[in-house]
Amino acid sequence: MGAIRGVVSLVVGAILATALVAQQSGPPGTGGADQTGQAGRGRGGRGRGNTIQIPPKGECPPGTTEVRPQTCQAPEFPPPSIVDYRPHSTLVADAHPVPKAKFPAIDIHGHPRGLLSSAESLASLTASLDTLNVRLMVSADDGVSGDRLARVIGMIRGTPQRDRVWMFTSIDFRDVGRGWAERAVRQLEADVKAGAVGVGEISKSFGLTIRKRDGMRLKIDDPDLGPVWDACARLNLPVFIHTGDPEEFFRPIDYHNERWLELSLFADRRYPSDRFPSFDELMAERDNLVKRHPRTRFIIAHMSWYAADLPRLARLLDTYPNANTELGAILYDLGRQPRAAHDFFVKYQDRILFGKDAFEPEEYPYYWRVFETRDEYFDYYRGYHAFWKLYGIDLPDVVLKKVYFQNALRLTPGLPQTGWPR
Ligand SMILES: [Zn+2]
């Protein structure tokens, strides 16, 4: 796995390096690589004079690529930047788009945001969900509790769409210190009375940026929070928690970083080690939390950002029977390893929940297509995430039903339990 990943990142790195040298180079036609002073004169692919030898396992210099073993060459034409290189695939492959899920789905990771502001906007939300066969959305917006939560639930229950959207409540992690837990538990009990069916999404700021009353970083496994997690078990609520972000966001932003483009586009996705805990530190704290509260059911968002390392996710699920996982926003990692992902879903079919995260109706069909078909080599919906194509993982119906709705129903007893296919 590590070796394969190394090779892939080397190739991607070489492409990026080539592209970036071009961006920085002079007028068109001068050959991007000339500026490195290393890569010949950009005279085309035939001659021998413009190649560079590298040692075994060496890396080609910037602006060049490996054309034969240990032989690097600069392209004759100024290479496009990675944002401009958009080759059209010549592969002729069967395509089976799936506009509607095969079975009714529960989106456990909904962010309807403004769409819960009125009965009219709710009606437009559920009309979109109908076209996708998403029967229920769980609103996992952070920061909704108390009066606001009760108001939104009251609005939903007063409409014909009353059973289509369900609310998770939020924990206010500000000002953790003496007396905090008692207040938080009281609020939680009130929110459950108002109709909340779970807790979350606990946002990534928990662990990354939130501070305690004393100014120290609030660690995910801070013992002051313990009474709240125990209350979730007592109240029979799942805890939906997002920790960290893709591991590449915590790494140096160099040309070996698989998310270089995304990191260059979005400054708020960078977590330099001098200002943030490391990825592994966050994961260890989260594991500790799950371990210390074995009776609390956790739904770990985004497959814990382990979807590119399914063996690691398997270890997490094997170690903690109270851990479950949700698959929002990591489809690009599942779809690039269709056989491993298929086997993982079959093995852990009782532990995986469908969730979409950002509410963009036109993006859901990519999920259905990956889960339900054997299609090959098709695009993900965000080019800056994935310099690769997706493949269908062709899940059997019994697994689809669990992932789409049965697991969510089991873990969230407050959701309507009847009227689902068998
Ligand atoms: Zn979310």
pLDDT band for position 383 (cuts 50, 70, 90): confident
**What is the whole-number distance in angstroms between the Cα of residue 398 and the centre of ligand 1?**
27
pLDDT band for position 26 (cuts 50, 70, 90): very low
Q: According to the model, what pLDDT value does residue 8 have?
A: 41
**What is the whole-number distance in angstroms between the Cα of residue 198 and the centre of ligand 1?**
14
One-character DSSP codes across 191-223: HHHHT--EEEEEPTHHHHT-B-TTSSB--TT-G
- Mean pLDDT within 1-30: 40
**What is the whole-number distance in angstroms between the Cα of residue 184 and the centre of ligand 1?**
21
**Residue labelled with tokens 């140096």:** 252
pLDDT band for position 385 (cuts 50, 70, 90): confident
**What is the whole-number distance in angstroms between the Cα of residue 291 and the centre of ligand 1?**
23
Q: Tens digits of per-residue pLDDT, 131-180? A: 999 999 999 999 999 999 999 999 999 999 999 999 999 999 999 999 99
Q: Does residue 34 carry a pLDDT above 80?
A: no
- Mean pLDDT within 219-248: 98
Check if the beta carbon of residue 193 is closer than 8 Å to that of residue 185: no
**What is the whole-number distance in angstroms between the Cα of residue 111 and the centre of ligand 1?**
7
**What is the whole-number distance in angstroms between the Cα of residue 112 and the centre of ligand 1?**
10
Q: Does residue 354 carry a pLDDT above 60?
A: yes
Handedness of CA 182, 184, 187, 191 (dihedral sign): negative
Q: Does residue 285 carry a pLDDT above 50?
A: yes
Check if the beta carbon of residue 159 is closer than 8 Å to that of residue 125: no
Q: Tens digits of per-residue pLDDT, 82-115? A: 999 999 999 999 999 999 999 999 999 999 989 9
Handedness of CA 279, 284, 287, 292 (dihedral sign): negative
Convert 310-369 into a string of H (helix), E (strand) and C (coil): HHHHHHHHHHCCCEEEECCCCHHHHCCCHHHHHHHHHHCCCCEECCCEECCHHHHHHHHH
Q: According to the model, what pLDDT value does residue 49 have?
A: 62
**What is the whole-number distance in angstroms between the Cα of residue 419 and the centre of ligand 1?**
27
Distance of CA 228 to CAs 134, 199, 202, 246, 285, Å? 31, 10, 13, 27, 16
Q: Which residues pair with 53 in a beta bridge?
A: 71
**What is the whole-number distance in angstroms between the Cα of residue 200 and the centre of ligand 1?**
9
Q: Which of 40-49, 129-138, 184-193, 212-221 has the lowest mean pLDDT?
A: 40-49
**What is the whole-number distance in angstroms between the Cα of residue 108 and the centre of ligand 1?**
10
Q: According to the model, what pLDDT value does residue 48 have?
A: 54
User: In one letter, which amino acid is 147?
Assistant: D
**What is the whole-number distance in angstroms between the Cα of residue 306 and the centre of ligand 1?**
16
Helix H or strand E encompassing 232:
helix 226-234
Q: According to the model, what pLDDT value does residue 5 have?
A: 43
- Mean pLDDT within 311-333: 98
**What is the whole-number distance in angstroms between the Cα of residue 383 and the centre of ligand 1?**
20
**What is the whole-number distance in angstroms between the Cα of residue 201 and the centre of ligand 1?**
6
Q: Does residue 36 carry a pLDDT above 90?
A: no
Nearest of 168, 158, 169 to residue 123 by alpha carbon: 158
Q: How many residues does the chain have?
A: 422
**What is the whole-number distance in angstroms between the Cα of residue 47 and the centre of ligand 1?**
54
- Mean pLDDT within 47-71: 91
**What is the whole-number distance in angstroms between the Cα of residue 301 and the centre of ligand 1?**
8
**What is the whole-number distance in angstroms between the Cα of residue 241 and the centre of ligand 1?**
9
Q: Which of 47-56, 154-163, 218-227 has the lowest mean pLDDT?
A: 47-56
pLDDT above 70 coverage of the chain, percent: 88
CA angle 61, 387, 140 (to 5 degrees): 135
Q: Does residue 17 carry a pLDDT above 70?
A: no
Check if the beta carbon of residue 192 is closer than 8 Å to that of residue 234: no
Q: According to the model, what pLDDT value does residue 386 have?
A: 77
Q: Which residues pair with 331 in a beta bridge?
A: none
**What is the whole-number distance in angstroms between the Cα of residue 29 and the centre of ligand 1?**
46
CA angle 257, 306, 134 (to 5 degrees): 115
Instruction: Give the number of other Cβ atoms within 10 Å of residue 262's Cβ.
Output: 20
Q: According to the model, what pLDDT value does residue 7 have?
A: 41
**What is the whole-number distance in angstroms between the Cα of residue 226 and the centre of ligand 1?**
23
CA gap 10, 257 in Å, rounded: 10
**What is the whole-number distance in angstroms between the Cα of residue 358 and the centre of ligand 1?**
7
- Mean pLDDT within 313-332: 98
- Give every CB contact of residue 392 below 8 A, 6+ residues apart in sequence: 96, 335, 338, 369, 370, 371, 372, 373, 374, 375, 376
**What is the whole-number distance in angstroms between the Cα of residue 359 and the centre of ligand 1?**
10
Q: How many CA atoms, within 13 angstroms, populate the side-chain half-sphere of residue 259?
A: 22
**What is the whole-number distance in angstroms between the Cα of residue 109 and the centre of ligand 1?**
6
**What is the whole-number distance in angstroms between the Cα of residue 4 and the centre of ligand 1?**
31
**What is the whole-number distance in angstroms between the Cα of residue 320 and the centre of ligand 1?**
23
Q: Does residue 124 carry a pLDDT above 50?
A: yes
**What is the whole-number distance in angstroms between the Cα of residue 141 and the centre of ligand 1?**
7
**What is the whole-number distance in angstroms between the Cα of residue 269 and the centre of ligand 1?**
15
Protein residues placing their CB within 5 Å of the ion ligand 1 = 201, 357
Q: Does residue 59 carry a pLDDT above 70?
A: yes
**What is the whole-number distance in angstroms between the Cα of residue 18 and the centre of ligand 1?**
36
Distance of CA 290 to CAs 126, 200, 342, Å? 34, 15, 26
